[in-house]
Structures are given as structure tokens and as C-alpha cells.
Amino acid sequence: MNASLVTDDTQVLRCSTSAEFLAALPHLTGLTYEPGIFVVIFRGSRAGQCVRFELPPTGDRAELRQMLCTMSDLLQTSRAGSAGPAVVLVTAEDFGSTEALESAPRPWWRAIAHALQLRFQREGWAMREFCVVAADAWAPLIGTEADRRRELSEILH
């Protein structure tokens, strides 16, 4: 990931990794890592505005569809979808074991992440970055490091 986050006084911070981007995000946008979906809008290589969406209640597929429609409408209207936004899904759930038995329930955030990826594919939009910050770990959800659990200490200072 190669991105610059811009504040109101146009200070530029260059981020070359997902961890750097996630560590900088709360400080530069004033947001905290409360559960939600954060969509960072880019203009060229510079991040600008950030929009936060509430997570739908666990298992509520109708609310998930409604949230995805609202997000898509916003990204289409603003033309930010085609610019490749960065998406950060923050959840209070645990990351979940990659060695979990098939019968073990998957965390709800995984269903949300899958639905987001499908919606972006359907719209023809690429995600510049897509990460999850869970209660016990964080991970990029796209790229060569996808689903590789990382320590929260890398991004939380």
C-alpha cells in the first residue's frame, strides 16, 4: 500500500504498509477504533474524507444489504468508488482461529467482509486497502498477506 493521509492543514504522512496506514488513521482523522466500517476516500494517492458506517447487528442480512446499498450509493454518487477507497472493518469480535473446525461458527465480521468484497467486485471497484481490526488481532483481507493475523500492538499506540 502506498498512500498519503491529508489533514486540514495539508500535512502529508506517507504510509507504505497496511500497519502504518492503520496506525495513522485514528490520529489523522480523529476517529477511534470503535466497531464500524470506515471507508477512506482517495484523490489520487492522497486520502481525504473518511466515512463511518455502523455494523449491522449480528446475523441481520437485511440490514447488511441495506448498509451495502447505502455505501454503494454514496461511492457511486461521489465517484469515490472508482478511485479505490480503503476499507477498514473494526469489530469487537475475535479474529477467529484459522484452524477452526468447519463446524465452528464463523465470526459475523467475516460475512460482512465477504459481502463487501462481492459488492465492490460487482461495482467494478478495487479496494486500495481492506483490513479488519478485531478484538484480538488485525489482518489485511486482500493481497499476499490476506487473513494473516497480526498483533494489535503494531497499530495501536
**H helix or E strand, kind and range, residue 59:** none
Q: Tell me the mean pLDDT per 10 residues along the chain, length 157.
A: 46 80 81 86 83 92 96 93 93 74 72 95 94 93 88 87
**Residue 97 has what pLDDT?**
61
Please identify which residue in the block is written with the cell numbers 451495502: 68
- The reported pTM is 0.85
Query: Residues 6 or more apart from 63 whose CB is under 8 A from it?
Result: 56, 57
Please identify which residue in the block is written with the cell numbers 450509493: 73
Give the Cα separation of 133 and 113 in Å (integer).
12
Burial of 72 (0-12, 13-18, 19+ CB in 10 A): middle
One-letter identity of residue 121: Q
Give the Cα separation of 19 and 60 in Å (integer).
30
**Cα-flanking dihedrals φ and ψ of residue 7, to 5°?**
-100, 180
**Residue 152 has what pLDDT?**
93
Instruction: Give the closest residue to 96 by CA, choosing from 104, 84, 87.
Output: 104
**Residue 49 has what pLDDT?**
84
**Residue 33 has what pLDDT?**
77
